[in-house]
Amino acid sequence: MRIGRVVKRQWLGPVAIAVLVASACGGGSRSFKDGPSAGASDAGGQDGAFSGAPGGVGAAAGDDGAIAPGEGGAGVGGSVGGECEPGATRACYDGSATTRDTPPCKGGTSICDEGGTWGACDGQVLPVTELCEDGVDNDCNGEVDDVYDIDFDGWTACEGDCCEVVGAGCTLPALVNPGAIDVQRFSPSGAPTFTDDDCSGTAGDSRAACDQGVPLDDPATASAAAAVDVCRSVTQDPRSWGLRSVSYTTANGKQIVAGKQAGIAAAFGAQVIPQQGQRMLLLSSGHARPPGHAEACGSNSCKTGGTSTPPVNFPQQADGCAPVKAIYDSVALELNLRAPSNATGYRFSYRYWSFAKPGECDAYSDEFVVIVSPVPPGSMDGNIAFDALGTPISAKSSLFDICTGCPMGAGPLKDTGFDTWSTSDFPGGATGWLSSTAPVKPGEEFTLRFAIWDGGDQAMDSSVLVDNFEWLTESGVEVGTEPLAAAKSQSLHP
């Protein structure tokens, strides 16, 4: 038998290592790749083969299962330099160690390429943002479908919150969610634009009108709410916002059928038109019908509801003028609302009309009030519709400034009945469009009651138009009333 010797020298720093490889001739040859049963010693490869490492030293499995270069065994065809032996493999995972092997996350395998560099980690599954209701622990934290409310606004991404962290198009995450309302802003050119703060995908849709085509004598309370531009109703979700209930009542909240005392007006007279949408709510202590309508009163006094119980602490004294405490023919629209999650207040527009003489001390003066519950700070016994002196809206109010001989003239009275049905003793007059505001807490539930009545008897009726309810989102909202700037008007009959 002949023994041949092959000596292969490779240089590792200053140390040269000779490796003797023996092979038997005549009886067949053996290779290390025949496995350990062939008598070879393999410190690293699971199939018995050596993976040569730079410097001729075999690669042994490291703690992470990788075939690490520079450990044990002779290398065949190795490359000097690089971080690994070409063809070597190792276990890998690019995510956090706390998520590894938490299903569906798992490690993968990396293969050393020909240049001696570890390749990508093939087969690994890394954590991703938790998806909604898919039954998978996408973020590999050990909990399935656990989506958190990152901005603490009461809504998660799985519940439709489109703005959980500050980023492009999302500057105030806590104010943006399906429980919010879209905010109207104005560009430098003055053109109005809307946000999509309710995450619906359509900017401004929460401010869309809903009163198109409603007839004047529609008795439905939902139509009355629509006429004042309260268009959205709450759902079973306690975080939703909008209308919770609506009813016609007397001034103290007793439910009634309003009949001819309420109307849904597309216009009132020759000049007065809605400030938002296509309709306004018209309430009257007489008939809420314009001249020419089959149910119009035809005079300055029409008896309707009889005696009523006034709200607590009403009617109120103004400028030392004590009113008669009895009221008659009262009618009201009562709205129970829940505020949006980004609301800080609300406002609405209205105009008051009466046959009473402006500014006179009249114990029989009619009144219009808006009673709020819970009572907001700054209100007058719960009423948020009053002038700078605290006087409820009436002919005694400083805001009652439209009449023959008044500073604002009598033009808006044209074709309302408060012109043609007036007399020298009861000439008829009105306010301009007014706007009242009040604060509210996000998600707060509250009641608004728009009420009007005849003071002391059933003579000399009054009416009020209510329109353009809207939520406010700016800071510092307070109770207050002021003339509506840039009110819309038209001349139907030049």
Residue 114: its pLDDT value, please?
94
d(CA 389, CA 365): 17
The SS3 of residue 222 is helix
| Mean pLDDT within 39-65 | 37
Indicate the pLDDT class of residue 385, thresholds 50, 70 and 90: very high
Residue 153 has pLDDT above 60, yes or no: yes
Cα distances from 407 to residues 286, 361, 402, 414, 490, in angstroms, run 27, 20, 7, 16, 20
| Mean pLDDT within 419-426 | 87
Instruction: Kindly report the average pLDDT of the chain as a whole number.
Output: 83
Residue 45 has pLDDT above 80, yes or no: no
Indicate the pLDDT class of residue 293, thresholds 50, 70 and 90: very high
| Mean pLDDT within 36-43 | 37
**Residues 311-370 pLDDT 10s:** 999 998 766 677 788 999 999 999 999 999 999 999 999 999 999 877 667 777 899 999
Yes or no: say if 253 and 334 are a contact pair by the CB < 8 Å rule. Answer: yes
Residue 409 has pLDDT above 70, yes or no: yes
Q: Between vectors from CA 34 to CA 31 and to CA 35, what angle results, nearest 5°?
A: 120
Residue 22 has pLDDT above 80, yes or no: no
φ and ψ of 277, to 5 deg: 70, -155
φ and ψ of 413, to 5 deg: -80, -15
Yes or no: say if 141 and 99 are a contact pair by the CB < 8 Å rule. Answer: yes
Nearest Cα residue to 150 out of 182, 169, 177, 168: 177
**Residues 250-269 pLDDT 10s:** 999 999 999 999 999 999 99
Yes or no: say if 257 and 245 are a contact pair by the CB < 8 Å rule. Answer: no
The CA-to-CA distance between both ends of the chain, in Å, stands at 129
Residue 79 has pLDDT above 50, yes or no: no
Which is more confident, 477 or 134?
477
Which is more confident, 191 or 353?
353
Residue 447 has pLDDT above 90, yes or no: yes
Yes or no: say if 362 and 395 are a contact pair by the CB < 8 Å rule. Answer: yes
* Cβ burial 170-192 (10 Å sphere, 16+ → b, else e): eeebbbbbbbbbbbeeeeeeeee
Indicate the pLDDT class of residue 35, thresholds 50, 70 and 90: very low
Burial of residue 226, with CB atoms counted within 10 A of its CB: 0-12 exposed, 13-18 middle, 19 or more buried: buried
Q: What is the torsion angle, in degrees rounded to the nearest 10, for the CA atoms of residue 360, residue 363, residue 368 and residue 371?
A: 130
Nearest Cα residue to 32 out of 45, 19, 18: 45
CA atoms within 13 A on the CB side of 130: 20
Yes or no: say if 254 and 276 are a contact pair by the CB < 8 Å rule. Answer: no
| Percent of all residues in the chain with a pLDDT value above 70, rounded to a whole number | 81
Yes or no: say if 402 and 431 are a contact pair by the CB < 8 Å rule. Answer: yes
Residue 231 has pLDDT above 50, yes or no: yes
Residue 459: its pLDDT value, please?
86
Residue 1: its pLDDT value, please?
37
The SS3 of residue 418 is coil
| Mean pLDDT within 13-34 | 35
pTM of this structure: 0.73
| Mean pLDDT within 54-70 | 39
Residue 465 has pLDDT above 50, yes or no: yes
* Cβ burial 34-56 (10 Å sphere, 16+ → b, else e): eeeeeebebebbeebbbbbbbbb
| Residues forming beta bridges with residue 455, ordered by sequence position | 327
Indicate the pLDDT class of residue 494, thresholds 50, 70 and 90: very low
Residue 490: its pLDDT value, please?
61
Yes or no: say if 322 and 364 are a contact pair by the CB < 8 Å rule. Answer: no
**Residues 210-227 pLDDT 10s:** 999 999 999 999 999 999
Residue 80: its pLDDT value, please?
55
Residue 196 has pLDDT above 50, yes or no: yes
Tell me 52's DSSP state: B
The SS3 of residue 163 is coil
Yes or no: say if 251 and 310 are a contact pair by the CB < 8 Å rule. Answer: yes
| Mean pLDDT within 289-309 | 92
d(CA 248, CA 304): 14
Yes or no: say if 146 and 158 are a contact pair by the CB < 8 Å rule. Answer: no
Number of neighbouring beta carbons within 10 Å of residue 435 = 18
Residue 66 has pLDDT above 80, yes or no: no
Yes or no: say if 81 and 116 are a contact pair by the CB < 8 Å rule. Answer: yes
**Residues 466-488 pLDDT 10s:** 999 999 999 999 999 999 876 77
Residue 13 has pLDDT above 60, yes or no: no
Residue 67: its pLDDT value, please?
44
| Mean pLDDT within 2-18 | 36
Output Rg (C-alpha) for the chain, integer angstroms.
41
> Residue 430, Cα to own-chain centre: how many angstroms?
38
Indicate the pLDDT class of residue 40, thresholds 50, 70 and 90: very low
Which is more confident, 357 or 178?
178
Q: Which of 141-145, 328-332, 489-493 has the highest mean pLDDT?
A: 328-332
How many helices (H) and strands (E) the chain has is answered by 1, 20
